[in-house]
Amino acid sequence: MNSSTFWLAIALVLLVEGFMPFVSPATWRQTFLQILKFSDGQLRFFGLLSLLLGLTLIWWLA
Protein backbone atom coordinates (compact mmCIF):
# COMPACT_ATOMS: atom_id res chain seq x y z
CA MET A 1 0.00 0.00 0.00
CA ASN A 2 1.51 3.31 -1.00
CA SER A 3 0.95 6.60 0.79
CA SER A 4 -1.57 7.92 -1.75
CA THR A 5 -3.81 4.89 -1.07
CA PHE A 6 -3.57 5.59 2.65
CA TRP A 7 -4.55 9.24 2.22
CA LEU A 8 -7.39 8.26 -0.10
CA ALA A 9 -8.70 5.93 2.61
CA ILE A 10 -8.47 8.73 5.21
CA ALA A 11 -10.31 11.08 2.85
CA LEU A 12 -13.11 8.55 2.37
CA VAL A 13 -13.46 8.12 6.14
CA LEU A 14 -13.73 11.90 6.53
CA LEU A 15 -16.39 12.06 3.81
CA VAL A 16 -18.46 9.35 5.46
CA GLU A 17 -18.01 10.80 8.95
CA GLY A 18 -18.88 14.33 7.85
CA PHE A 19 -22.01 13.48 5.89
CA MET A 20 -24.50 13.12 8.77
CA PRO A 21 -23.48 16.24 10.75
CA PHE A 22 -23.68 18.28 7.55
CA VAL A 23 -27.02 16.92 6.33
CA SER A 24 -28.83 16.57 9.65
CA PRO A 25 -26.98 17.95 12.67
CA ALA A 26 -29.92 17.44 15.06
CA THR A 27 -30.23 13.76 14.18
CA TRP A 28 -26.45 13.35 14.48
CA ARG A 29 -26.52 14.95 17.95
CA GLN A 30 -29.42 12.72 19.09
CA THR A 31 -27.56 9.66 17.81
CA PHE A 32 -24.50 10.59 19.86
CA LEU A 33 -26.63 11.17 22.95
CA GLN A 34 -28.00 7.64 22.54
CA ILE A 35 -24.51 6.21 22.02
CA LEU A 36 -23.35 7.85 25.26
CA LYS A 37 -25.94 5.75 27.10
CA PHE A 38 -24.35 2.46 25.91
CA SER A 39 -22.35 0.42 28.41
CA ASP A 40 -18.67 -0.27 27.80
CA GLY A 41 -19.52 -3.80 26.76
CA GLN A 42 -22.01 -2.62 24.16
CA LEU A 43 -19.51 -0.12 22.74
CA ARG A 44 -16.83 -2.81 22.57
CA PHE A 45 -19.26 -5.16 20.79
CA PHE A 46 -20.08 -2.56 18.11
CA GLY A 47 -16.38 -1.69 17.83
CA LEU A 48 -15.54 -5.36 17.31
CA LEU A 49 -18.28 -5.70 14.67
CA SER A 50 -16.94 -2.63 12.89
CA LEU A 51 -13.37 -3.97 12.94
CA LEU A 52 -14.43 -7.38 11.65
CA LEU A 53 -16.58 -5.87 8.91
CA GLY A 54 -13.74 -3.57 7.84
CA LEU A 55 -11.20 -6.40 7.80
CA THR A 56 -13.62 -8.62 5.87
CA LEU A 57 -14.21 -5.91 3.27
CA ILE A 58 -10.47 -5.27 2.89
CA TRP A 59 -9.81 -8.99 2.49
CA TRP A 60 -12.68 -9.38 0.01
CA LEU A 61 -11.76 -6.35 -2.10
CA ALA A 62 -7.98 -6.76 -2.05
35, pLDDT greater than 90? yes
H/E stretch holding 41: helix 40-61
Report domain extents, the chain: 24-62
pLDDT of amino acid 1: 64
Terminal CA-CA length for the chain: 11
What average pLDDT does the structure give for the chain?
A: 93
pLDDT in the model for residue 2: 80
Residue 20 has what pLDDT?
Answer: 93
Q: What is the distance between the alpha carbons of residues 49 and 56, in angstroms, rounded to a whole number?
A: 10
Q: Identify the band that residue 62 occupies on the pLDDT scale cut at 50, 70 and 90.
A: confident
Task: Read off the pTM.
Answer: 0.70
- What value does the mean pLDDT take over residues 17-24? 95
44: three-class secondary structure by DSSP? helix
